[in-house]
Structure 1
């Protein structure tokens, strides 16, 4: 355990505890509510909508237009969308309808080759969508538009999806609070006083608000799953390497970076995760068995309520632990007795995760100067400047850059030690889970937080980030709202290439606990 690291964050947590209470007291005014969902088309899964389109029950135009109208209603409150292609999306939807009317495609062909035909898609701004903003939230890339689609967007377009907009992120995806100096901050649809998370926070907020049905995000240390928790939706981090990252910015060919970064889906409905994963992995050379039904009775189920408490790590709140317990209890109906994880789960997981990040030799440049992109900038200087509002960069991205610049507080021997320790724990977990085991674990230690305190919670991304380090698939499952009306839920983890287990359990828990809950009070037909 690196004492200096823990001491630094221990002091930060003490200061945070004081100011969090002050902020809670001051910020008691009820926030603006989102307009209710009044169009019934917005209440169907993408899977169901695609079926309705194929069977000519609804038109592509009706579906795409309904979502564009809802985006226009909620975005002034959320600030989730940073660029759009509404006109082009409507035009494409009308062409799709004409193709259906002409008999160009039959139902069987559409279902097999274009399963997303006519479905609106939203995209995290760091994933290239041709003609739309592709700045990664950096002032140094202001005005940059994507010249072509990312590989994943091309796959989704070929499957019939119609992209409508790109959504907000932290600068260079460097944090789990979606705010940058180019597009501002994205707010939580359930309570705008809270953060939408990051780095796929714009996606999370828009989907959680009912203004998108499927979206694409990316995950380096929880960047899909934490926004999924905060915004009450499903988010899947796939097995490392099975989905292309080409077209993502920031990007590196470094094999260690490629192991950590994964592109994946965010959805309101669990069945759409499976649909999107089939499309996104259509060029994967591994048999992921996504079409094979999972027999839940054959599962081995393990759980932990939290990491062991240690200095510098804040405890998991009771309502999140309760989510873990509810899932454990639910599996008893299948005569499955869940077992607490029987391997050592050390508090040094934090150091293991950070050591893997720091060990990336060719990490993308995070601090891009707005006047001279070739200029070398130093993270520690920009971090100090950012505290006084004097930097071109956000505090969270400058802090991340400072860590990568200095490797503080790790020595080379520390890095080697923690990487070795991580490999040993990974192997134990791999042996334990095998091809039919799942691990129930918190996604984060608490529901959404005030955005001003996101940097203070940096180490607590360990609940997600360790599975990027290990390369395991993991899905966040929403399980209702807490007493403050904020979403809560749990993370389901499986061994590499067993994504099908995560997706099957997500569908099971959606049935059991209700899944996504609209942030507006009622749904009118």
Structure 2
């Protein structure tokens, strides 16, 4: 049913009030930096990839207990500053590491047998709290879900555990995983390891923060609008948004509804590029064969394209000069080192990235069932929340919800029951055809992961659509790898996302290995 004139007027007035209130909020939330920084990495085990750690453990060059303890020590050192890991399982992890060491001691089949059967044996792992990890909190920061624990493992987590990885704990998210800052009223706000006054991104921001701060080496994230790539960009690490449908999205909260399953991707997050493919092979299970990840990629035979920005739109921030420059440097290095020609292209449809994403997230499924209203999710397992009432409560410090969640609920109200935007659908179909024809089976595209480096806390409230630089590739269903490219003059991570055609995930993953070698990969935030 369409909104009445009175309802439209109420919503318009509410938006005007929120605009004024956001301005006041920005003024009141500003704070002076306290100068605290993360300590540098001191244990050399923390500067080794998961692949190499597993090899060292299998060869008994180091014990799993030593590795797990090293990461526990690091988490205890940095998490008071980051608030990234919201619940640990350190005692259980040490017991599991001791069992790993005993298994290796008793193994008679040799290192090759262990590598084939348990490729991540004894390696620590962190998990986004939105994924079910048996016995651990499973709330996505919703106060009404306090006390909810997972009774099973999500498939991706189960496969990593079956490969020998040892979970250390679960990490913070944005409330209900629908915002680009990891902040909720159950666990609080998570900080960026390179600057504690800045955001780590969302919704996999706790994962990005603990990985970037060297409190973990590999992690599990999910991405429906950039929730892997933005945190990886802001925290200077690698992350891969897989082709949808390759890695199971089951046992995540909130669950998909409408057509959202078509745009959500579960994927790996890590500090070292060489861990991306092994993790994806494990997480994809039997579907890994569809990606031909064992096929060697010759970058000289890959066609490269670059797009410097979305073409300019009032909804998104302009791409900063430092990010334009680092992307130009990537182009120059590719042409000089590999001998390829990188062609600059532009698609007018990218100007409508947010409208496209917003339209497709709200589409009904094949049976005509619409996505679950956000206000219902805000109140589960109880009654739906009324976002306007929550806004009034928030103004006096009484709401259990963040401003981002309340704002999303109000925006959903303003949509009402309006039909899908035909212009956005037309633009998406046109853009889909243009991009797929350009990339084919052997092309990759360089595109900014975000128009600016990690913003200060709460600032995304005033530029809420910048995530569309990543969100558009969810709607298009394309795989994309975020790659770190060193640090800005302010000491904040730079990066770029590398996009390929559907099911050709191996191409951007191969480019990630090259870019790590060319630009140095992850940098210790305590050493900068």
How does the TM-score come out when normalised to structure 1? 0.92
1:63 is aligned to 2:67: yes
List aligned pairs for 1:179-258, cutoff 5 A: 179-252=183-256, 254=258, 256-258=259-261
User: Offset at 1:299?
Assistant: 1.1
Structure 1 runs of 4+ with >6 Å offset: 8-20, 369-372
* Alignment correspondent of 1:517: 523
Native 8 Å contact 1:235 1:477 kept in 2 = yes
Match of 1:457 in 2: 463
Query: Equivalents in 2 of 1:362, 1:126: separation in Å?
Result: 22
Deviations 1:468-525 (A, max 9, x none): 0011011111111111111111111111111101110001000000010000128xxx
Contact 2:202–2:230, Cα closer than 8 Å, also in 1: yes
CA RMSD, 1 decimal: 2.7
Segment of structure 1 superposing worse, 376-385 or 308-317: 376-385
Q: Residues 229 and 240 of structure 2 are in contact (CA less than 8 Å); yes or no, is this contact kept in structure 1?
A: yes
Measured in 1, the distance between the counterparts of 2:28 and 2:517 equals 37
> What are the ranges of 5 or more consecutive residues in structure 2 without an aligned counterpart?
1-10
CA distance in 2, matches of 1:358, 1:125: 25
- The aligned residue for residue 74 of structure 1 is 78
Contact 2:486–2:494 (Cα < 8 Å) also in 1: yes
Select the residue among 406, 410, 413 that pairs with 1:398: 406
Q: Could you tell me how far apart the structure 2 residues matched to 1:510 and 1:17 are?
A: 40
After superposition, the C-alpha distances for 1:63-94 in whole angstroms (9 at most, x for unaligned) are 11110111111111111111111111000000
Instruction: Determine helix, strand or coil for the equivalent of 1:172.
Output: helix
Q: Structure 1 residues 105 and 180, CA, compared in 2 at 3 Å: closer, same or farther?
A: farther
Q: Which residue of 1 aligns with 2:90?
A: 86
Of residues 505, 508, 515 in structure 1, which corresponds to 2:511?
Answer: 505
Distance of 1:369 and 1:327 partners within structure 2: 42
- Whole-angstrom CA distance in 1 between matches of 2:117 and 2:446: 35
Stretch moving more, 81-90 or 395-404: 395-404
Deviation string 1:9-58 (CA, Å, 9 cap, x unpaired) is: 999999989997x799x745452111221111001000110111111111
Q: TM-score, normalised by structure 2?
A: 0.91
> Cα distance 1:73–1:515, how it changes in 2: closer, same or farther (>3 A)?
same
Cα shift at 1:383: 4.2
In structure 2, distance between residues paired with 1:37 and 1:142:
34
Partner of 1:172: 176
Contact 1:16 1:453 in 2 (8 A): no
**Change beyond 3 A, Cα 1:328–1:284:** same
Query: Contact 1:13/1:456 (CA < 8 Å) preserved in 2?
Result: no
Q: Is the 8 A contact 1:387 1:395 kept in 2?
A: no
2:415 alignment partner in structure 1: 407
- Give the Cα–Cα distance (whole angstroms) in 1 for the partners of residues 333 and 298 of structure 2: 15
For 1:436 and 1:42, the matched residues in 2 are separated by 35
**2:468 and 2:17 mapped to 1: Cα distance?**
19
Match of 2:7 in 1: none
Name the count of aligned residue pairs. 512
Of stretches 83-92 and 311-320 in structure 1, the one that deviates more from structure 2 is: 311-320
Q: Is the 8 A contact 2:378 2:384 kept in 1?
A: no
Query: After superposition, what is the alpha-carbon deviation per residue over 1:313-348, rounded to whole angstroms, capped at 9, x for unaligned?
Result: 221111111121111111112221211125434412
Equivalent residue for 2:328, pick from 325, 330, 346:
325
Contact 1:301 1:437 in 2 (8 A): yes
Cα distance in 2, alignment partners of residues 31 and 342 from structure 1: 42
1:23/1:356 CA distance change after superposition, 3 Å:
same
CA distance in 2, matches of 1:96, 1:368: 43
Please name the residue that 2:340 is paired with.
Answer: 336
Superposition pairs of residues 82-481 of structure 1, within 5 angstroms: 82-103=86-107, 105-252=109-256, 254=258, 256-284=259-287, 287-333=290-336, 334-341=338-345, 343-360=347-364, 361-364=369-372, 366-367=374-375, 373-383=381-391, 385-407=393-415, 411-412=418-419, 415-481=421-487
- Deviation sequence 1:384-409 (CA, Å, 0-9, x none): 5435433221111122233334426x
Structure 1 residues 148 and 377: CA distance shift in structure 2, 3 A? same
Distance 2:471 2:377 in 1: 28
Tell me: CA distance 1:329–1:17, structure 2 relative to 1, closer, same or farther (3 Å). farther
CA gap of 1:486–1:285, structure 2 versus 1, over 3 A, is closer
With over 3 angstroms needed to count, the CA separation of the structure-2 counterparts of 1:105 and 1:370, relative to structure 1, is: farther
Q: Are the aligned partners of 2:311 and 2:348 in contact in 1 as well (CA < 8 Å)?
A: no
